[in-house]
Amino acid sequence: MSIGSRVALVTGASKGIGRACAVRLAKSGYDIAVNYLRDEEGARETARMVEAEGVRAEVFQCDVSSFTDSQNLIDRIEKELGPIQVVVCNAGLNKDALFMRMTEEDWDLVIDTNLKGVFNVTRWAARPMARRKRGRIISISSVVGFTGNPGQANYAASKAGILGLTRTLAKELARYTITANVVAPGYILSEMTDKLPTEIQEKLKSQIPLGRPGTAEDVAHAVAFLASDDAAYITGQVLIVDGGMSTGNI
């Protein structure tokens, strides 16, 4: 993909991994479409951080679980910011409960956001990418999609679904010079992990061969690589970013 005016969409970019991906891609010269659902203040802070890297940023509110809203999101970005070359599907949430206690509502909410959201956004972004015969689709999954995790049947299913979807996209979109890959983080420092009891945090850390939890920036570096020209011949792959935590279990 040629250097010049380049646009990347990052969904769920108001904080955490999404924000780190937006800033890292900005460092690579991409103008950034910052998507959020509810945290407008966080999204605007991300945009300010992106602009500090000398590129453009625009904020776009959208519920990616909506097929129609996702179409409108892609249309707006293409009109207001420019042709999208990279899509990072990061938007996601969790509603944890043991399987026998999980409600239908909690199942649907997680699947609709984490998995259907990837379908919705890439469904509409792939069309203009195909016309231009170039593009990168990068989805954020989780090692939980491989290993499972008690209390996270909905989350694990959604993240596993991303793997199958992406591998299919890779095969269907290759003729348009569009690559589709997954980044699967492990134990990453975040607001969610900060709430875990200290003993659980220490137990998780002890399972990481590199001896530390990951950061949002660790994930963002992997995303930036897959978005780069250096990854032009990589598609349908999963890049696990977990410090070796899942080694031997996948």
CATH top-level class for 6-241?
alpha beta
- Side-chain-facing half-sphere of 27: CA atoms under 13 Å: 11
Helices (H), ranges, 113-215: 117-132, 144-147, 153-173, 191-194, 198-206
Whether pLDDT at 195 is above 80? no
Model confidence at 4: pLDDT above 60: no
Return the domain boundaries, the chain.
6-241
Residue 39: φ, ψ to 5°: -90, 75
Instruction: Please tell me the distance from the alpha carbon of residue 128 to that of residue 46, in angstroms, as a whole number.
Output: 26
**pLDDT for residue 1 is more than 60:** no
Mean pLDDT score, 223-228: 98
Per-residue model confidence (pLDDT) at position 196: 72
3-state SS class at 178: strand
Q: What is the mean pLDDT of the chain?
A: 95
Catalytic residue among 36, 155, 176, 187: 155
Asked about 36 being catalytic, the answer comes back as: no
